[in-house]
Structure formats: C-alpha cells, structure tokens
A and B are shown apart, each in its own frame.
Chain A
Amino acid sequence: MSLNSNIPEGQLEEKWTKYKSTVPLVNPANKRNLEILVVGSGLAGASAAASLAELGYKVKCFCYQDSPRRAHSIAAQGGINAAKNYQNDGDSVYRLFYDTIKGGDYRAREANVYRLAEISPNIIDQCVAQGVPFAREYGGMLSNRSFGGTQVQRTFYAAGQTGQQLLLGAYSSLERQVGMGTVQMLSRHEMLDVVVIDGKARGIIARDLVTGELERHFGHAVLLCTGGYGNVFFLSTNAMGCNTTAIWKAHKKGAYFGNPSFTQIHPTCIPVSGDHQSKLTLMSESLRNDGRIWVPIKAGDTRHPSEIPEEERDYYLERRYPAFGNLVPRDVASRAAKERCDAGFGVGTSKMAVYLDFKFNMMRYGRVEATKNGLTDASDSTILNLGREVVKEKYGNLFDMYKQITGEDPYEIPMRIYPAVHYTMGGLWVDYNLMTNVPGMYCLGEANFSDHGANRLGASALMQGLADGYFVIPYTIGSYLSKEIAVKPISTDHVAFVQAEKEVKERINKLLTINGTKTVDHFHKKLGKVMWDKCGMARNAKGLQEAIAEIKKIRDEFWKDLRVLGSADEFNPELEKAGRVADFLELGELMCMDALERNESCGGHFREESQTEEGEALRDDENYSYVAAWEFIENNWKLYKEELKFENIKIAQRSYK
C-alpha cells in the first residue's frame, strides 16, 4: 500500500475553500440511513458527534468514563489559539500557520496546518455561541493573552480552565443531540477492536464496562477520537485512563501509525515525590512569564533556597538563551532542565527538580504598586507583600494547587519543577480528510498525527481538536459516505464481527487466567521507566536498542506473570487497565523503533547523535523531512515515508539564542 495524503491541488490559501465547494455531498434523506460510530468524547469526539448528528447522520458515541464530560480535554489550562487579530497586533491566518509549522520544527503538513489556522476563528465564534464563558475585557469584548512561541496575542482563555469550558460547550451540544435522540451515547464503554469488512471499517467491538458484556456495533464509518498515549510512560500529565487501545487496535487492523516517537515533554510540572506517584500535575506554561528558573551554581548544594545568595545561582535559561530567556519553547526548556539535573545541580530531595522563583517579579510588581499608591519609602517587605498580591491575582489557583500537592508555600519558597510527559504529537496517520489508510476509518484530535509536527505550541491542542470535530470532519466525511449510500447496514452477525468479538473475548480470558504474581501497575511502571530513561527527553541509538529489547522482555513477563483478579462479566477496573497496558507494551516498542530510525533532532525528539557543538538540537532536513508511517505486520513493522514539501514557508534551523 502506498501513502496518498489527498491534499487538494491549488494555492495553499484556496485549497480548503475549493475543497469545501467541490466535495461530494450526501442528501438529507440518505444521511438518515448512514450510521457513524464516534469513539471518544473529548473535544474532537464530542464536537464531531454533535456536528454530524446535527447534519442528520445516525451517530453512536462511546467513552470509557462515566460521562462524556470527563474526557481529559477538560484538564487543559492555558487557552486556545485563533487568528482573529482582535488585538490589531498583526495576526493573520498566515502568521498562525507559520508559527505552528515553525513551532513544530517543520515536520507537519503545510496544507493541514493552513486549514487549521483558517478554521480557527470559526471555533471561537462557535464556542461563544454555545455559551462558553471566555474571559472578557471591561468593554465586553473577548480578551486575549500571549503564549510561548509567538509574538502576537491570539490566545483565548477562560481563567486557567479553558479546556474545561470548551469541553463543556461541546458536551452540551452533544447532550442536546442525545436528548433529541440523534446520538446514542454509550458511556462506560470501551472500544476493544475495529471490525474491517472488505477492507473498509464497518464497526467496532465494545465492552460495557459495568456488565462486562461485549457488544457489536455497526457503522458506515468509524471515527477514533481517543486522545494521546502519553501514559505509555506511566507517569504523565494525562488522566489515569488515557490509553492507546483504540488506535492501537486500529493500527493492528491495518491503519498506519504516524511519527509514534514524537512526544511533548512539558517543562513546568510538579516533580515526582516518591515511588507511590501515580501521575504528574502540570503548572501552566504561563507561569514562565513571571518566574525565573535557576539552580545552585555549586553541584549538590543542599542549602535552603533562601540561603543561596544571588551570585551563587545559575539562571541557566537566561545564560544559555539570552534572547528568549525563560520563554524558550517547551522542548528547549525541558532539555535544559534535564541537562542541569543530570549534571548534579538538581534541587529538592530527589535532586530531579529546578527552582521556578517568583520573588524577583514579586518585587518588580511590588515596586510598581508602591509607586501607584504613593509609597515612596516602602520597605522591602512591604514591596514584597504588594507584589505578592499581584501574583496572587494572576496565578492564585495554580499556587494553591501547588501548595496542596507539595505542602510548600510557593509565595515563600520557590516552586520546584521538572519536565513531564504531556502530549503526543504522533498518532494514526491520516490524509487531508482525516481518514486513515483504512477506508471509512477516521482519526481526529490528539489521536492522529497531523498538525503539530515534532513539537506542539501552547494553546494549539484545543484548537486542533475542535477544528477536526466541528469544521473538518462534517465536510470530509461526505467524500467517503457519498459513495456508501447504497450500503445497507451490515448485520452484526457477519463473520467479521463474530471473529473480532471472539478474539477480544479470548484476549480478556487470557488476561484473567495467567494467574501470575505481579500486578498490572508493576509492569506499567517498569515499561514507563524504560521509556522515560531511553525514549524520553534525550535519545540515542544504543539506549533505544536496549529499550526495544527490554520492552520485549517486560512484555513476555507480562503475559506470563500477570495477576488480574475478578471476572470478565463485572465492573473490573484492573482488567481494563491490564488490556491497556498490554497495548502500551507493544506501542512502546514501536515508539523506540521510530525514534531509532529518525537519526536527527527535531522538536521534542532529541537524538544525542544529532546536536550542535553547543548541545543544541540539530535537524536534518535533507534526510528526515518526512512523516514516518508505520504499518503493522505480524510481529514487525514496515516503514513508509510521506515526504513533506514546504512551498510556502522557508525552512530554517530554529534558534532562541
């Protein structure tokens, strides 16, 4: 099979407009007879299910949580980008497109990203109309803030809970359709396989997580909107249930996996506090606007931070990147923190953390406040108090969250932060239509590989999820379904359904009958450690080769020594977890293979073999300017390369010096 990205002909600016006016349509009477299965109910899934139902399709939507409102899109803090140019600061569709391509280190498709930028304003309008309470200025107009990697203010936000508000908007649209009977919502259901008939996706096998019953669902098309797979690292900012199972099953049924190793490691997370740690919590990127990052100049310095004088502190980001300082992109900031800690300069009990210190800016704000209030001879402590109030106003909820988790007061002691896995740019390979190489099988949102290249800019994930669901899929699905109108619903007694269900059942029984000695988490933690150490922030050929061997070993052990109690016909969270970890154990290997194959540094993927003399990432456009799409072949993978052509943008090596 070959890769065809199906990008429309013509000028970049005209592609999507032309596409929309010429894509085949399905008439309303036929839409009523076409069934679509949407797996996942996050921003992409909920918006797609609602929009498609509004168009008249018969939709079923699945989520593993108890309600579609719980999907992990809800945890996004910062904001959503849109090229509205409300601030009159020179933003445009082209600029958003350009920033996104550059931020992604030139490993994304031009046409997709341009479309994303083009659609972005409509998303804001749609969300406002749904009643999403975006932040407003006193005049009643929408407010914006700036985010990393850009020079304009184009980020729309709702306090530190933008993801929550956008998701609840999409959720309410979805529930409206549920109320009208056009969407059947199946919560606490997990997709465990895709059914492919005559080369086309025709349904799924889902497990009712409450009763344990396996169900067969037919659909003329299947949309996978199941989010990212950062939990392959065990510790990440993802929710506990985030998994790769749906896209992994799809991958094993023929869908190619694009750029699996592209992972975003977010620089400002609360560090691990012990072996008991189950997940990591992000501290919004916006904190870097007002915090200075430092470590002691002396390795192994155990003094309290307040006892370390100014001249014995190393503000390493400001030192290494004077132009951008603390505001370098996420991947750069993360690697720099790792470099310092590895060299022995880390702080805290684990020594795997750096300080994010607000004192400098509290003093700065305090002086401004003092001047405003006419306090000409205010003492340092008065100034600090005034500044503390300003910081409280801006980041109060984040500081509270930090204190709740660590037990330390960040107004008094600098925050300790360390990078953590946050987002996966990789995912199922899709064409311009968001269709995988398996006809009828689509992949939306974080689950696909499409728009962020090798590194995602802040406030772009929400934009992509909603763009895919609200404004792309309603058009692009027509080009496929218009040819399917004659297809009558296939009986779920079809041999392909029976066979798929049988395989799922056997696998579940296998998991339950190994009767070994180790828990699911035991294996998950082991896998996570290998992935973090060898396929994390820095990677090299030797480590990746070792990782592949180690993962295989863990996988073998898993299938020999796992213990899952309870039965298949009840609510059994351990069994759910076991199935997901089993898939992670396969995905991990592919991620390492992909990282090994890509012998260049780009975005979040840093190969130690490919760096400048100063230790900066070195991209190799000559040899690696492509999307790696992996095909699953029994116990192995085959690589296809989709060349990336940059016709509207001049490629340059990123520099933040």
Chain B
Amino acid sequence: MSGNMNLTLKIWRQKNNKAKGELVNYKVADISPDMSFLEMFDVLNEQLITKGDEPVAFDHDCREGICGICSMHINGRPHGPKHGITTCQLHMRSFKDGDTIVVEPWRAQAFPVIKDLAVDRSAFDRIIAAGGYVSVNTGNAQDGNTLPVPKTDADMAFAAAACIGCGACVAACKNASAMLFVSAKVNQLAHLPQGQPERMERVRAMVAQMDKEGFGSCTNTGACEAECPKEISLVNIAAMNRDYLRANLLDSEG
C-alpha cells in the first residue's frame, strides 16, 4: 500500500532482571500509518516468532490510554513524541518512512526491569498502600449529598485523580522522582471534604514511602508535567509541598 513505511527499530533486550541488556536492531517493513505503535510491535513479534527468535516482552493491556500499563521510552521520551497520550495511543503516522526508532524501558532504581521493555512498578502500589485512601469501611458511608463539594473543588480533585499511574513522570524526570504521581493522589483527596480527617497523616506517610522506594527528589524541571499522558499539573507538587510543610510544622501529631 502507498504511504506504508520501512523502519529500523533499536529495542532494549534484556533476558531478565539479573541479565545485562543491550539495544538490538530490527527492521520492520510495510508499516501502515494507521497502525498504533503497539500494533507495529505486534507485527515485529509475529515476524520474530516466525523466524524462531524470542518476541519482545512489553507491557500493554487496554490499548486505549487508560489502564496505564504501557511504558515505552521512545526516541528519548516517555510514550513517544506526541503530547498528552500513552504509547498505545501513539500511531505510526507520527513517524516517517526510513526512521530509526529507539525504544527503551522506563529507567529508575525504583522500577527494576523485569524483561526487555517491561518494568516493575509495584513501588506505586506500596505508596498508595501507605496512605493513598480514605479510611472508610464498606457500609460506613453517609448519603452522598450530605457533604456538598463545590464544583471547582470536585473538578480539581478529578483533574488530579485522572492519573493513570503509568510512571511516565518518573521516566521523564532527570532524578526519577515520583512527586507528580504522589502529589496527584495527595491532592485529589486534599480537595475533597472526605479527605480532610487524614490529610496530614496521609501526606507524611506517602512521602515517607516514596523516599523509601528510592525515587529521586523534585527539581521542578517540569518534565513530568510535559510528558504526563493525562496532563497532571505541577501545581499538585507545590500543593503537596505545602501540605507536607504544614503536616510537619503545625500538626500536633507530626
């Protein structure tokens, strides 16, 4: 078909967590611009299997930009060259015939490589487990309209809650900092009346766990915000810093 592309891929191959990895060159031919980036990987893998080579392992699931599992660092950027989308939403029409595309896994101490392009992001789960919730057992709830939430607060909480936990913020940050991820959850709950009782304890606990996981600190470069597929704002980080200060200076339990 006309408009189809031939591409060179340089893909990070690593047998397992212990093994040493390297970039390996592959060629794919006749790639339709209508394919998604991951469908291009499907084509490559079919090709590899047919040849008897092990396919490239990569994380993918919903393929519509919401589950947050896909995690490729493409030509030096998390989720590739387009703004505000995940890898699975990236389409091949963003590339040109003859391009060379470098694909690497997320790189961070806290995200060890499992195999090839798949990494372990369970650190994020542990941060949520440390305090990213409202302590309300099933059945405890009062009527949903008892506590009015101003629309602007609800909208701000929602904007923060849109985080999909993909880790692009960590991948983009020169310090592999998880501040955008953590602050998104802290702020979602800080904007809602339901989040107030545990607000101070939550920010302390989540930051402590974040530090324990080995993420770097925030240098405010803004790379996380620029690469976030859900466009989570840096304002969240400032707000978390504020809450963190308050929690440590003013909260009597702190």
Give me the interface of A with B, judged by CB distance under 8 Å: 47, 50-51, 54, 65-72, 74-75, 84, 86, 122, 124-142, 158-159, 161, 164-165, 168, 171-173, 175-176, 178-179, 185, 187, 210, 237, 239-241, 273-274, 276-279, 281-282, 401, 404-407, 470-471, 474, 517, 519, 521, 563, 565-566, 570-574
- A124 to B146: give the CA distance in the assembly, Å: 12
Q: Cα distance A173–B114 when bound, in Å? A: 27
In the complex, how many angstroms separate the beta carbon of A163 from the nearest chain B beta carbon? 8
B174 CB–A CB distance under 8 Å: no
Asked whether any CB of chain A lies closer than 8 Å to the CB of B60, the reply is: yes
Question: Contact between B122 and A66 (Cβ–Cβ < 8 Å)?
Answer: yes
Q: Please indicate the chain A residues that have their CB under 8 angstroms from the CB of B137 in the complex.
A: 51, 54
**Contact across chains for B149 and A175 when beta carbons are under 8 A apart:** no
Q: A65-B61, A573-B57 are in contact. Are A136 and B154 (CB under 8 A)?
A: yes
- Nearest A-chain residue to B135, judged by Cβ: A176
Question: Which one of B159-167, B218-226, B238-246 contacts A?
Answer: B159-167
Q: How many residues of B contact A (CB 8 A)?
A: 82
Q: List residues of chain A with CB within 8 A of the CB of B154.
A: 133-136, 140
Q: Please, how many angstroms separate the alpha-carbon atoms of A130 and B60 in the complex?
A: 28
Q: List 7 A-B contacts (CB under 8 A).
A: A75-B62, A128-B144, A131-B134, A133-B154, A133-B158, A175-B133, A565-B54
- 9 additional A-B pairs beyond A126-B141, A273-B32, A570-B115, beta carbons within 8 Å, are A68-B125, A126-B139, A131-B192, A172-B128, A172-B132, A173-B133, A282-B64, A401-B89, A474-B138
A54, A125, A171, A210: the one contacting B114 at CB < 8 Å is A210
Is B125 in contact with A125, judged by CB distance below 8 angstroms?
Answer: no
Name B's A-contacting residues (CB within 8 A).
Answer: 15-16, 32-36, 38-40, 42-43, 45-46, 49-50, 52-55, 57-69, 85, 89, 91, 93, 114-115, 118, 120-122, 124-125, 128-145, 147-151, 154-155, 157-158, 161-162, 164-165, 188-189, 191-192, 194-195
Contact at B91–A407, with CB atoms within 8 Å?
yes
Q: For the complex formed, measure the closest distance between the CB of B74 and the CB atoms of chain A, giving whole angstroms.
A: 16
Interchain CB contact under 8 A, B115 and A70:
no
Please report the C-alpha to C-alpha distance between residue A176 and residue B136 in the assembled complex, in whole angstroms: 10
Contact indicator B125/A126 (Cβ below 8 Å)? no
Q: State A18–B159 Cα separation when bound (angstroms).
A: 42
Chain A residue numbers with a CB within 8 Å of B191 are: 133
**Shortest beta-carbon distance, B212 to chain A, in Å?**
13
A239 in contact with B62 (CB, 8 Å): yes
Interface SS, B side: loop
Quick one: given A161-B162, A187-B122, are A75 and B67 in contact (CB under 8 Å)?
Answer: yes
Chain B residue with Cβ nearest A281:
B64
Contacts of A281 in B (CB 8 A): 63-64
Residue contact A185 to B125, C-beta cutoff 8 Å: yes
Give the distance to chain A from B129, nearest Cβ to Cβ, in Å.
Answer: 4
Q: Would A122 and B161 be within 8 Å (CB), given that A66-B69, A173-B133 are in contact?
A: no
Q: How far is the CA of A66 from the CA of B119 in the complex (A)?
A: 9
Q: How far is the CB of A287 from chain B (nearest CB, A)?
A: 15
Nearest CB on A from B55, distance (A)? 6
Contacts of A70 in B (CB 8 A): 61-62, 67-69
- B66 and A274: CB pair below 8 A? no
Does A141 contact B134, Cβ atoms closer than 8 Å?
no
Q: CB distance A178 to B61 under 8 Å?
A: no
Residues of B within 8 A of A133 (CB): 149, 154-155, 157-158, 161, 188, 191-192
* Interchain nearest-CB distance for A464 vs B (Å): 16
Chain B residue nearest to A270 (CB atoms) is: B64
